Amino acid sequence: MILEVRGLSIHYGGICAVDGLSFGIETGSIVAILGANGAGKSSLLKAFMGVCPGRLRGEILLDGAPLGRAAPDRIVRAGLALSPEGRQLFAGLSVAENLAMGAYLRRDAAGVKRDREDILALFPRLRERLRQLAGTLSGGEQQMVAVGRALMSAPRLLLLDEPTLGLAPLVIDEIMALVGAIRDRGITVVLVEQNASKALARSDHAHVMEKGRIVMSGPARELASNEEIVSAYLGTA
Amino acid sequence: MTWLPLLLSGLAVGSIYALIGLALVIINKATDVVNFAQGEIAMFGTFVALSALNAAGLPVIVVLLLALPCGFLLGALLELVFIKPISDGPPLNVLIVTLGLFFMFNSLAGIVWGFDPYRFPSLFPTEPIAVAGAAVSPASLGIIAVTLVLMAALYLFFEHSRYGTAMRAASMNPFAARLMGIKVGRVATVSWGLAAGLSVVSGILIAPLTFVDQQMMISIILKGFAGAILGGFTSLPAAAAGCLLLGVTEAYVGTLATSTLKDSFAFALIILVLMLRPGGLFVKVARRKV
């Protein structure tokens, strides 16, 4: 178990975004967290990274040790990285600089260079765009930069928040195929998605969130085959 | 060859504006405010430098070299004490605090050093030198040279160093910067330090040509601000270019018309330019591809 959540609640003022969650993420797996807009998925990922502005209660454990209220730089060093919702690139920096910022905390120049090559092999289109400003790329390319930037910190656990939002179907398949390739490199992946069927097809395990709670958990294949569940909780799947 | 000395003295004055203008842009990028106290920090630092010269007897060149690091410490300290505690509030609050700092330094200088102007020793030789048949002031050349060196250093730092790139990243997207492990709060402190360091250098460079008193930077911060907006307030090179252009334009207008006209002419020109190019002369208004 690489990450474990025990009784985690997140409040923004009087509004409860996450309500007493407890679950764990197996090392080496792809875990999908599904649910409608406002179910608390993004808040959860931000809490993992130490950048959630809300009030937190409960515990987040990394490798069995409580993270406490660690600052994001400590969490990145501990092996977590987030590709945030809406991509959040440094629009005025080049693709190369965006990737370099992903490795901001690393001091092993040789390792950074190796990982950069590996990431460019994963996203060959980025190699042609290295000198281009990130803000001028297409949506799919921007998403690749966001994932690549997160990978540049050499994470053990990669959090992907809505990586396919607003992308064309062909690009969605391209991004989803990469999720498997990332796991094959030994990186645990948490995939937050509204696009339930695509996410379930790629994941080992899935949790369905509604109003800040997990209302269903199980192997992804079982959830995907249960049409009743899919239509009830995930809308058009 | 009457145009050469005029061009050089215009560029020298523009360099002083540019150092202040760059300081204003650096702080604006980090904290989203215009630091009204920038000129007063420069004035205060120049008084301290003068005291170091007179009381401690330090050589002029040592004082010039110490200006940047000492100014940096002063600026970083100001950010930690006065700005950081209120930085979660709206930017207007920070703006008001910089106005407060303006009056604080202005009064403090008056209390400590009085209200009479002081002479500041020359940093460069005073004998004019002959360049291509024209008599050129070494002070102009010296000011331009020091400024160019600082600009080149800033360029290398922001474009090619890890921390400089991180500062630009934090300015563009603080949330994403935190996800990278960049300490965004520290970026603000470093920005204030850098800005104050540049300002103190500008104060020491201009001091031998004017006098040192508590009003010495008032018109210079206005010109630095105006020049930076003329070039483009969002970009360091554009802001610097705008300040240099303003200095040169003023120099020519000052000889063609009366020198009393030159201030109002400068601002009339800026208003005209901004009506035609709202982003500044050297900045394209960014169009984002969606």
Is B111 touching A (CB cutoff 8 A)? no
- CB-based contacts of A74, cutoff 8 Å, min separation 6: A50
Considering only alpha carbons, which residue of chain B is nearest residue A50?
Answer: B179
More confident residue, A223 or B66: B66
Order of all β-strands in the sheet with A80-83: A80-83, A157-161, A188-193, A30-34, A205-210, A213-219
Q: Which of A83, A104, A105, A131 to mutate to test the interface with B (most CBs of B within 10 A)?
A: A104
Q: Which of B29, B159, B167, B179 to mutate to test the interface with A (most CBs of A within 10 A)?
A: B179
Which two tokens mark B286? 């960014």
Chain A from 125 to 154: CB within 8 A of any B CB = 135-139, 149-150, 153
One-letter identity of residue A81: A
In order of start, what are the domains of chain A with their CATH numbers? 28-52+70-234 (3.40.50.300)
**Digit-coded pLDDT (tens) for A39-90:** 899 999 999 999 999 999 999 999 999 998 899 999 999 999 999 999 999 9
A225 pLDDT band (50/70/90 cuts)? confident
Helix A95-102 vs helix B162-172: crossing angle, to nearest 10:
100
Q: What is the nearest CA distance from B30 to chain A, expressed in angstroms?
A: 15
Mean pLDDT value across residues A125-153: 96
Instruction: Select from A49, A81, A104 the Cβ nearest to the Cβ of B162.
Output: A104
Q: What is the pLDDT of residue A179?
A: 95
Q: What is the pLDDT of residue B268?
A: 84
- Print the SS3 string covering B203-252: HHHHCCCCCECCCCCHHHHHHHHHHHHHHCCCCHHHHHHHHHHHHHHHHH
Is B285 touching A (CB cutoff 8 A)? no
**Digit-coded pLDDT (tens) for A146-180:** 999 999 999 999 999 999 998 999 999 999 999 99
Distances (CA, A) of A213 to A19, A149, A161, A222, B180: 6, 30, 18, 20, 29
Q: What is the pLDDT of residue A161?
A: 97
Interface size, chain A vs chain B, as Cβ–Cβ contacts under 8 Å: 71
Whether residue B88 has pLDDT greater than 70 = yes
Q: What is the CA radius of gyration of chain A?
A: 17
Residues of B in contact with A76 (CB under 8 A): 179-181
Model's pTM, two decimal places?
0.92
Bridge partners, A66 (sequence order): A61
Instruction: Select from A93, A139, A149 the Cβ nearest to the Cβ of B172.
Output: A93
Mean pLDDT value across residues B157-162: 97
Mean pLDDT value across residues B217-227: 93
Which two tokens mark A126? 């980025």
Q: What is the pLDDT of residue A233?
A: 64
Q: Cβ of B179 and A90 within 8 Å?
A: no
Q: What is the pLDDT of residue B264?
A: 80
Is A197 touching B (CB cutoff 8 A)? no
Is A15 touching B (CB cutoff 8 A)? no
Cβ atoms of A174 and A143 within 8 Å: the answer is no
Q: Which residues of A201-220 are buried (b: 16+ CB within 10 A; e: fewer)?
A: ebbebbbbbbebebebeeeb
Q: What is the pLDDT of residue B285?
A: 64
Residues of A in contact with B168 (CB under 8 A): 90, 92-93
Domains in chain B: boundaries: 3-217
Cβ atoms of B201 and B38 within 8 Å: the answer is no
- The ipTM, to two decimals, is 0.95
Mean pLDDT value across residues B60-89: 95
